[in-house]
Amino acid sequence: MAVLVGKKAPTFKAKAVVDGGRIVDDFSLTGFEGKKNVILFFYPADFTFVCPTEIIAFQERLAEFDKRGTVIVGVSVDSEFSHWKWLQTPRNEGGIKGVTFPLVADPSLMISRNYDVLAGEYDYDEQGDFVFEGNPQAYRGLFLIDKEGVVRHQVVNDMPLGRSIDEALRIVDALAFFQENGEVCPANWHEGEKGLTPTQEGIASYLAGK
């Protein structure tokens, strides 16, 4: 698993469905640089079971991310047409109608490969044929990309394990706290709590106050 934290996020230009139903051909994260943080998350597939719970949960908290200057972008290996159909399907029929943040299509698997969340890889078999080994879907990867386009946080879950939207919000708050105050965030830090200065004296003072 590649560690992308501290590095520029891999760039891409791909087809996506935006605003809940409009297909665009050249969606890119570069338009957010200098303006917004990005939560880029990968999920295995449209029309599955855990995935809609996560996507709808992000939608329900979208305003909270927005007030923190952060946009949400989802990616799977499905086509833009599959995304579009899923977005038009009512929730009581297994769809995600009402979701408005972008869903990026990655049928070539290249975006998932570049972020190293693909559950398999291409290799040569015993006959010398170039084949895909494993599952050609993405694990549940999540990346916080700052306004400079640098990855500041990443976490990857196996496919059966849904992620925490609360934790995604907490890590956005932690980054903002550090950038605004110059203090670091200790274990289990949440917005409104104090941080600590990254010195021995600062750590001692923080621990003494616990």
Instruction: State pLDDT tens for residues 105-134.
Output: 999 999 999 999 999 988 888 888 888 888
**At 52, is the pLDDT very low, low, confident or very high (cuts 50, 70, 90)?**
very high
**Exposure string (b/e) for 130-149, b if CB count within 10 Å is 16 or more?**
eeeeeebbbbbbbbbbbeeb
**Averaged confidence pLDDT in the chain:** 95
**At 210, is the pLDDT very low, low, confident or very high (cuts 50, 70, 90)?**
low
Which segments of the chain belong to CATH 3.40.30.10?
Answer: 14-163
Q: Does pLDDT of 204 surpass 90?
A: no
- Which residues belong to the active site? 51
Phi, psi (degrees; rounded to nearest 5) at 194: -80, 155
For domain 14-163, give the CATH number.
Answer: 3.40.30.10
- The predicted-structure confidence for 20-30, as pLDDT tens digits, reads as follows 999 999 999 99
CA distances from 102 to 76, 141, 158, 173, 187 (A): 11, 16, 23, 22, 32
- The predicted-structure confidence for 86-99, as pLDDT tens digits, reads as follows 999 999 999 999 99
- The predicted-structure confidence for 62-89, as pLDDT tens digits, reads as follows 999 999 999 999 999 999 999 999 999 9
Q: What is the pTM of this model?
A: 0.94
